[in-house]
Every structure is written in structure tokens, then in C-alpha cells.
Amino acid sequence: MHVKAKDKCVLLAAGGTGGHLYSAKGTSEELKRRGYKVILFTDRRIEGLLDNFFVDHTKFILSATFSKKNIIYWPYILMKLFYGLAISVYWITYYKPSLAVGFGGYPTVPPLLAAKICGLKIIIHEQNSIMGRANLLLSNFTNGLTKGFKDIYNLPEKVKKKSCFSGNPIRDEVTNEINPYLVYNGKIFNILVFGGSQGASFFSKLIPRALSKLPANYRKNLNIMHQTRTEEINSVKDLYISIGIKAEVNDFFYDLPKRLRNSHLVISRAGASTISELSLLGRPGILIPLPSSIDGDQEYNAKVLDSLNGAIVYRQSDINEEILSDKINDLISSPSELLKIATNAKTASKEGGSKNIVDFIENLLAGKLIWK
């Protein structure tokens, strides 16, 4: 039985990447269904991804990320974080939320520390299979932690006793596309290519060249949907035209979930949201983790599907156009193998991530939290 949501307000903090924001979006949708007011604290970098993100109020909070490469700027970064903390305290005092939830990334640090200062309970959600630095910091203050994956490699011992395997929250537009995998019938073969919410230059060079090496009878049946950087759209289009492959190239596909559903094969990075969505929909993927991802989180994420034979995983340093072309050729030649990978990917999914997290929130607010 849910606690009464009347007059209750939940603060969600997410930033840095589309993956963090989409996790917050899935949770927000479930909170709104249960009658909660939702306040989103985020940063300007992902303002363009806020379309169809329906919350009661959105506040942009100043933040910054520490790294060894920018030590000289640490005093400035610290000043920005303190300013973000002060602004967060102001808005928390104004809106009076009952609880705060962070979804990872340094932009969540000022709002969640402010929430703690204001006496609120806080929850952090770790969407990756290895905890990010911001969440590791916040784990010292959290009242509970929900996990996107069952096993988190560096989960602090002190947090294990107050953690729950919820699965990752998935946006409604993805869950609405759940359908059986359509086995390739020898006609049009749909390949979806994307490198995360901001595209990937590496893919823009590698993939068209790899596809150009396929036999002519395969190339003529390809339908490519390729997400790339804005400045690379025209050059990638020209590459596909030059090799006679039908391709739709854009910097962002707002109907990406529908394209996922219709894909025979997905080639992508290995962000947590991507892994969760491929698993939920049961679609076969070739995953090339981003080598520069902080703490190697994408490599750890990819291992989840790789261990189940639910995806084909390559390190970026180990892949080239010949290797990729040979693998795609093998997969097109063996629709049954694609179906097997898709079926295995489906077994990694824990459905109901958004519902599980909101249940966790309500139980914490009601003082009836049961760890599992």
C-alpha cells in the first residue's frame, strides 16, 4: 500500500550525461503517476535533453568535476560547488521536498549535500556496475542506495546493508516499445548506430568503412540509422552515399526507442541506460565501451551482457573495420545467432526499475524500509 502522496514533493538530482537524466526521467514518471510533485535539479550541459521531461519545476545548479587533468582549476571548481550548494539550500528551503534522490554525476553533489544539511533523507541510485566518484562520495551520507545491476564491483561495505537491487528506471517511451525480436527474413536488415546521447566520432569513421567491405548482396539490403555529432552529419552521409548504402544520419533520434525495437542489430557504446534498454527490449548488440569513461564504468557494464552471451563486446583498441565487417557479415548470415543473443540479453533485465525505486522511496518515507 502506497503512502499518501498529497502535498509530498521529491527532489531528483541528475546531470552530466543523458544516461543519468534518463534514469531520473523514468523515476519521475512513476512518481507523477502516484501523485507526487517532482523538482529536478540538473546542469545546463543536458538542457537540450529535457524535452518531454515533465516535472513541476526544473532548477539548473552550478557544479563542476574534479580531475587530475585540471588540478590548477580546483579552487575555482570548489567555489562553483559551494555556490551550487548555497543555491540548492535556498531552493530546498523554498520547495520543502520530503526526500532527495541522486542519479550520479558531480552535478548531484551540491543538491544532495544541501538536502542533507536541510535534514532530508537522501537516496542515491547507481546505474552502473561500478560506482561513480560522485556516488562514492555521497554514499557517506546516504540513507539508502538502489542498484541498476545486481553486482556493483566497488560497493562500499558500509553501504551494502542499506542497498537494494531495483534495476535501472526505464523511460515510458522505451517500455512502450517492448515487443518480440523480429528475426531477419532476408530482406531489409536494420542496423542502429549510436554512441550515447552526444554521438561518437570513432563510430563515424569505423562503421561506414566496415559496412563497405560487406558483400554487395548484403549492402543493398542494409538500412542504417546512424547517430553522430552535428558537425559530422554531412561527411557521414557522404560516406554512406559513396558506398551505396541507405542511411539516415542525424545528431539525435528523438524516437530512439522505436528504432531500438525495429533493429536487427545495434552498435553502440555501453552506458548503463543503453545496456538496460537493450536488455529490456531483448535486442542484440555489438558494444564498444567508451575507453575514456571515468573509472571504466562502460567496460564493467558491458561485462554484464558479455557474461551472458547477450552481446558481442570489443575494446576500442582491439577493433578495426576488417574485424567489425567480418562479425557483421557472420551475424547477417546467421539470423538464428542474432535471435540467440537477443534472447540472452533479455535475461539480464530486471523489469520495474522505476516502480521499485519509488517503492523504496515510499517505504523510506514511511519508516518501513525492508532491505533486499
pLDDT bucket at 205, cuts 50 / 70 / 90: very high
HEC profile for 48-90?
Answer: HHCCCCCCCEEEECCCCCCCHHHHHHHHHHHHHHHHHHHHHHH
CA distances (Å), origin 135, targets 35, 58, 141: 28, 22, 10
Output the average pLDDT for the chain.
Answer: 91
pTM of the model: 0.87
Predicted pLDDT at 197: 56
Predicted pLDDT at 20: 86
pLDDT at 74 over 90: no
Q: Do 61 and 32 form a contact (C-beta atoms < 8 A)? A: no
Comparing CA positions, the residue from 195, 175, 189 lying closest to residue 252 is 195
- What is the rounded CA–CA span in Å between residue 165 and residue 132? 17
- What is the rounded CA–CA span in Å between residue 49 and residue 327? 33
CB atoms closer than 10 angstroms to residue 87: 18
Which domains does the chain possess? 9-169+352-366 (3.40.50.2000), 175-346 (3.40.50.2000)
Residues making up the chain, counted from first to last: 372
Comparing CA positions, the residue from 215, 239, 182, 245 lying closest to residue 328 is 215
pLDDT in tens, 137-164: 999 999 999 999 999 999 999 999 899 9
Distance of CA 176 to the CA centre of its chain: 17
Give the strand order in the sheet containing 9-13.
57-60, 37-42, 9-13, 99-102, 121-126, 144-147, 163-165
Helix axes 18-33, 353-366, angle to 10 degrees: 60
pLDDT bucket at 3, cuts 50 / 70 / 90: very low
